[in-house]
Chains A and B, each alone.
Chain A
């Protein structure tokens, strides 16, 4: 195990170096910089723009900027200053990453809670009416962008509120209610949970479509295998045959995919966060991209890359645990 991990660490060094180089220079390739919009402001003089360029280090050559950035990141764990926020990029990202993490965790719980039973049920009762209707809905959801689903859900909540004369008023948008600070700690947790519920469900449902179909297909394949027939013939109960023998073998592709959860967890729930006004990573990164906030974009992408490498290593280890045929070392 330890040689495996060491090898992974060594392999990740050139990967990270190349990734950071690409990230930094692709951002630099875009025309203009953070101060470009300021040039259109009739109240800011060219001298002041030059001052700011000097203050932000934008007047230096990109290669010099890159090495400075690298040096600070390696030796001081300093990801650079966000131009927009005028504070370290890491400090800007931290609260957003934590917020996204909560949403993604809850989504993951819902995601598995929906797709595993549905997939298994679909395989066990293949071609039943229920299986067929689930399939139709899933087909529909597969081609449906999650942000659009979210907009429809918001519309639905508004209509529900109107029809019931305001008696049913589900929270949507943001992470907390007004007056959150005055609530007791227990109520605060409940408040956040109630705000997480709808976006997490929407995201889980729209994502579950894919996984459900994978699990259903895997289960069907494994159920036809000789050893399951043998197990059944030997008289194991139906439950054991399905969950212990079939399911355990069918989840290998899921385990292999767990590694991608780690970077996904910090990259947040994507456009859904934008639609629900949730203070996660995506709204911030979108704004940073629009404003060409160099170090914030670059820093975030580097963290994402590190987590991707970690996640892949984790996947390999987990696979070895689940599947005795695979060995790391």
Chain B
């Protein structure tokens, strides 16, 4: 345990619908999908399969023509039932009807003693690579490049997030193998951050080849961006990679077993689910098995991911590649008489403006998707700074992006951020701006200029 970083800024959202640490049984998921839209960096996606083809878990089904050495593979074996396209033939979903028992493409075990580039190329060819994200920009990493360091956040501090100590229990060997592989890929260290306010789960104890850091404090303490900032911040011209613990385990399985095993334990949460808990499934699962017959009420929003950074999906939709959580909350499309004035302790707010009494409420909040107000120009100042535990001036950064001032964006630290790092700013903003979208716009301006 090298250093303990105690963060003060941030905000923990206490929401109703937390899942108990237990597995629940639900009808098996029939279909899975890979959505190119889950990968922000993908430029020219090309489908490698046709409708009706059968694939194994690990069969390449998609590449990015701009970086074709990275394979996006089928998470399960089965039949390609639909390749869904949207406007201008934009590729939306590649759906696979899963076999009863999953069969795997065999790549052969991976020798960690081979040279760095060969190892990276091997990992890129077997389906696990999209787990490796580069910063700046938050896009899938280029295996040909060598990062200064690799960062892994060992815990998720988002609202109702899964407990990795529980979901990854028993995967210790794979996790270690994943770390060993990653350690070969960087010129620097592998940094693993754990929750400093809890005891270290078995999966991380005794880990070798990684430097362990402890972080404590409110969300976003668990965000890898926050952790990078406090361990070794990213400067212009530098490159670091990030991987989630689930990604590390998948890499470890590829190393030790020679297969792309896309299975993972996800958590079902949210106030509108009758049964919350943990479910074992695969990447890109159809959510209908999780929510059908498991709802308290009819008018809900199903979210792949958490309430701060997740994405609305239809009842028959699919989980995002990087999501380990499904959250179901009520839709908020109602008008409320004098809703902007009425005092309430039941409404969740970071602010304490007149009538906002949520700070008196120590219980859990049932929140819906209502925006509680319309979009406005930035008026309130200083509030973003209170939830941003980095030496970054968010208000000025946002204004720099709005005015497309490239130098300012760079100098004010856009290289350090991806969407999730400003999700809390977006939540607390009384002017209701789409700040995550704004940050992605800024990143794209810098990337493609």
Say if A and B assemble together. Answer: no
